[in-house]
Each structure stands twice: as C-alpha cells, then as structure tokens.
Amino acid sequence: MEPRIVIAGISGRMGRLLREEVANAKLPLTGGSSRGGPSLAELAPSADVVIDFTNAGTAASHAATLASAGVAWILGTSGLSAADEAAVRVAAEKIPVVYAPNFAPGVILVLAIAERMAAALPADRYDAEIVEMHHRQKVDAPSGTAVGLGRAVAKGRGVDLAQVMESGRDGHTGPRKPGAIGFAALRGGQVVGEHTLLFAGGDEHIALTHRAFDRRAFAVGAVQAARWVAGRAPGLYDMRDVLGI
C-alpha cells in the first residue's frame, strides 16, 4: 500500500511543487497545513508520512507533534539551530526521520564524493573552501547544503566541523588557520542554488560544483524519500540511505 502524504506548508513555493510531485508519483495526498488552514496536529492522524520544507522556527514543534502521532517525517528545512537538531534527534527515537541538507540526488552524490576527497587530500596540504550562492530572499547563511558539504569534509578528515569552521571572514583576520574549512555565502537575483567545494593545494586546485536550476529537483527527491521511509523503523536517516550510497 502506498503511503498517505501530508505536506507541511502546502501553499508555499516548495509546497506547491511537492503537491505536483506527489500527484506525479500517484501517491495519496490527504492534506496540507497552511496559515489559516488546518494545523499539522490536526492532519497528522490522516498521514503515514509528512513532508516538511517550512522554516526553522517550526522544526521543534513539528518534531514533537509527529513523534506523538507516530508519523514518519521528511525534513528539508535548513537553518536549524543546535536545539532544533536535538529535537529532531529526539523525535527520531520514536519515528523514522529523513533529514537532509538537500534532497536533489546530484547533491547527495556530491556529498559522498566530498567525504572521500577530504579523506584522500591531507588538510595540511589542501585548504578546503566552500562557496555558495542563493537568491536574495534566502534568510540563512551558510546554506544547509554548504554546511552539509562542510560536515562531509570534516567527517572525511576525522574532525568536528564546529572546531574548524571559518565563516564570514572580515577585517584583519591574520593568516588562514591550518585545517580550517572556510565558507563564503553570496546572495543575489533568483539563483536556486550553487555550491562549490574547493581543495586548494600549493600545486593544484580541485573544484567540485553543483548547480540547481529548478527547485523541482528537491521535490522529486523528497517524494522519493517519502516512499522509501514508509514502514521503516524509528531512526535518523538521510538521503544517502534513500539512494543506497
């Protein structure tokens, strides 16, 4: 039996794309939350999976609501705080959660490659820098995908990203710290999403780039994740689990 889907924020830009892709996948859509409409708590009993690309301010409350209802959760919201992510982990003790910085299949492959490259390119010889650009309306920086790239690099190098992250350099910063992972965020126009991971060595530079031209790629991946997660055991999953890489 196909999972019944509820879309959080169904009237938003991503919500509309998700509704179209749920229909394209021929999955039953039983409702969607929106401002002035039914709440997620009211809709949860009719769902097997909730797809959520709303905003960071809703993450903790949605985590509690869906854990209480026993409904699987596809979470594509970026900009979560440490407390928000802790709430997601608590929810994952009761329900299956697919939480990813990006749901486009190409990005997931880039993350996997980034981890392997970081493991192969020593931090004392190759400086890691991440540059991302998004539309002018984006409210968080660095982007969730950029942070995901940073975490992939940190994992490949066996370090904690929080201990080596350098973001928003300004003024007289002094020389670059050995082993740092740098971030630069650009905003302008209506860029859907561009991310470049650069490994800069003394003798060579290696760049890994992903460009998204349509948000639909995120919606397609999220619907794929919704179909995959239905019936899974509680736990915190990501799109690498969904894609099997």
CATH number for 221: 3.40.50.720
Residue pair 218/52 in contact (Cβ under 8 Å)? The answer is: no
pLDDT (tens digit, 0 to 9) for every residue of the chain, 245 residues total? Answer: 899 999 999 999 999 999 999 999 999 999 999 988 899 999 999 999 999 999 999 999 999 999 999 999 999 998 899 999 999 999 999 999 999 989 999 999 999 999 999 999 999 999 999 999 999 999 999 999 999 999 999 999 999 999 999 998 999 999 999 999 999 999 999 999 999 999 999 999 999 999 999 999 999 999 999 999 999 999 999 999 999 98
Residues 40 and 81 in one domain: yes
Catalytic site residues? 134, 138
Residues 93 and 144 in one domain: no
Residue pair 158/210 in contact (Cβ under 8 Å)? The answer is: no
What ranges in 25-168 are assigned the alpha helix state H?
Answer: 40-43, 59-69, 82-91, 105-120, 144-157, 161-164
Q: Which domain holds residue 42?
A: 5-99+215-243
Residues 190 and 231 in one domain: no
Residues 112 and 204 in one domain: yes
Residues 160 and 220 in one domain: no
CA atoms within 13 A on the CB side of 132: 26
What domain count does the chain have? 2
- Considering the entire predicted model, what is its pTM? 0.83
CA distances (Å), origin 12, targets 35, 80, 190: 10, 19, 16
Residues 198 and 225 in one domain: no
State how far the Cα of 57 lies from the Cα of 45, in Å rounded to an integer: 22
Amino acid at 110: V
